[in-house]
Structure 1
Amino acid sequence: MITTPIAFVGAGPGAPDLLTIRAAEHLKKADVLIWTDSLVNPQITDLAKKSCEKIRTSSLTLENILNLLIKKAQEGKKVVRLHDGDPCLYGAISEQISGLIHAKIDFEVIPGISAYQATAANLKRELTIPGIVQTIILSRASGRTGVPKKECLERLASHRASLCLYLSARHVEEAQSVLLEHYPEETPVAISYRVSWPDQWIALVPLREMAKTSIQKKLIRTTLYLISPALEETTMRSKLYSPEHDHLFRQKQ
């Protein structure tokens, strides 16, 4: 039996023009589109051809989705499994991949732009400023599914890195309390709701107002918190373009 490889495609943060070219090409060629309708902008699915069968997954279980992926691929269909953001980040593709490997069905993964990247771009900020912060941590607050003890927010916050918290709006008060034990209360926090969607809302507030602002806006999902000293305006510069710094392509001036 010959099957066409299934493509796990990252839809990016929401705006159709933030798709990668490779992602868009897969969407245009899809015979079957199995998509995360609760999180993906419906406009992105419009890229698929009219004859494409579109299946929403918000009401399906893993078993339902896996059976669909296998069945459609065995029928010789070009199947795209469309995830929000980047499928490798909180995309729950691991268990789907395991099922496909067991069924001996080939697949590929197409990355997508994540919400933290779109948020930083929207704010026109770099998250790795020399002498201030050189590390980005992507994580979430411990909720219903928990996090490993070694990755608890207390430990992550102690680094004072650029910390990006996904899936944490329902636990924002607890998260703020922990963060204030490690970051100064004036540390800038970008609160990003549905970034790049038509109704996006982004605010830059001090850490001490992170929870209050979230509660006032009634944010409970599709929200990213970006906590970072890099969000402050600075005159710090890297050595990369410094006249005193030489490297393979340039001598000291």
Structure 2
Amino acid sequence: MTRKVIIVGAGPGDPELITLKGKKAIEEADIIVYAGSLVNREILKYNKKNAKIYNSATMDLEEIVKVMVEGVEKGLKVVRLHTGDPSIYGAIKEQIDELKKYNIDVEIIPGVTSLSAAASSLKVELTLPKVSQTVIITRPEGRTPMPERENLRELAKHGSTMAIFLGVSMIDKVVSQLIEGGYRRDTPVAVVYKASWKEEKIVRGTLEDIVPKVKEANIRKTALIIVGDVLDPKDYDYSKLYDKDFETEYRKRKL
């Protein structure tokens, strides 16, 4: 039997936005270590085996790894449940490396990101022809330092669509750096609090007025900031994908 831990992306919050594969892993788990500060507890109800549940919000890395290793050593099915997709700000690399020390492998089941959920709630396409074909996923510097080349001022120079995680608590600083980097003051902004949750809240504005709007809405954490003209495009081109004058491998041009 393969010695492994299954790392599952729980999705953005809505219990129905977990993948079928992720749901199956939770159903069959004997031990679940979940990110309690962010994962919707409703997702834990999918478990059918009365699994032992651990909330990693109250644990350090050593404690988390100890629980997972002991479970694997006993031949139990261990699931490490992360929010959204574990590949984005999931802190999984360090867990993988620690598990390797015990000859334990991992299987990673991707999830729906909060960015995908936020874009769906906003009913926007993050990449529009003639507007933006690039999405930058980033965060402002906090306790985790940022490489100088990746600070918000530098990234803002591209003028592309930007999704900023972990930044709503310092929205003043974020906005200042984006403007200093080159975004227009009238660039559209949307702040989505708890995308896909029942308590989801959306605040729209521009870099000029988003700060007071966010503060008035009392949003201080668990929110994503999306910046860019794709949120309110004044002009864009239709894609070539369905253009009747554009040939593809599957569709010939109509004469």
SS at match of 1:197: coil
In structure 2, runs of 5+ residues without a counterpart are none
Matched, 1:58 2:49: no
Cα distance between partner residues in 2 of 1:130 and 1:164:
18
Q: What pairs with 1:153-164 in structure 2 (closer than 5 Å)? A: 153-164=152-163
Q: Deviations over 1:37-67 (max 9, x none)?
A: 1100010011112521111111100010011
Q: Which residue of 2 aligns with 1:19?
A: 18
Q: Deviations over 1:185-239 (max 9, x none)?
A: 2211110101111111012211212222222223221110000111114553111
Whether the 8 Å contact between 1:85 and 1:114 is mirrored in structure 2 is yes
Cα distance between partner residues in 2 of 1:180 and 1:92:
30
Q: Which residue of 2 aligns with 1:243?
A: 244
Q: Which residue of 1 aligns with 2:5?
A: 6
Cα distance between partner residues in 1 of 2:253 and 2:2:
57
Cα distance between partner residues in 1 of 2:170 and 2:141:
8
Which range moved further: 74-83 or 182-191? 182-191
Q: Which residue of 1 aligns with 2:73?
A: 74
Q: Which residue of 2 aligns with 1:104?
A: 103
Q: Which residue of 1 aligns with 2:187?
A: 187
Instruction: Give the TM-score, by structure 1 length.
Output: 0.96
Cα distance between partner residues in 2 of 1:226 and 1:40:
21
In structure 1, runs of 5+ residues without a counterpart are none
Q: Which residue of 2 aligns with 1:205?
A: 205
**How many residues are matched?**
252
Shift of 1:4: 4.2
The one-letter amino acid of 2:186's match is E
Q: Which residue of 1 aligns with 2:219?
A: 219
SS at match of 1:58: helix
SS at match of 2:57: coil
Q: Which residue of 1 aligns with 2:151?
A: 152
Q: What pairs with 1:132-147 in structure 2 (closer than 5 Å)? A: 132-147=131-146
Q: Which residue of 2 aligns with 1:92?
A: 91
Q: Which residue of 2 aligns with 1:34?
A: 33
Cα distance between partner residues in 1 of 2:2 and 2:71:
9
Please, what is the CA RMSD of the aligned residues? Answer: 1.3
Whether the 8 Å contact between 2:131 and 2:236 is mirrored in structure 1 is no
Q: Deviations over 1:132-187 (max 9, x none)?
A: 10000000011111211111111111111110000011221011011123112221
Cα distance between partner residues in 2 of 1:227 and 1:209:
13
Q: Deviations over 1:6-58 (max 9, x none)?
A: 11000111000000111101010001111011100010011112521111111
Cα distance between partner residues in 1 of 2:199 and 2:96:
33
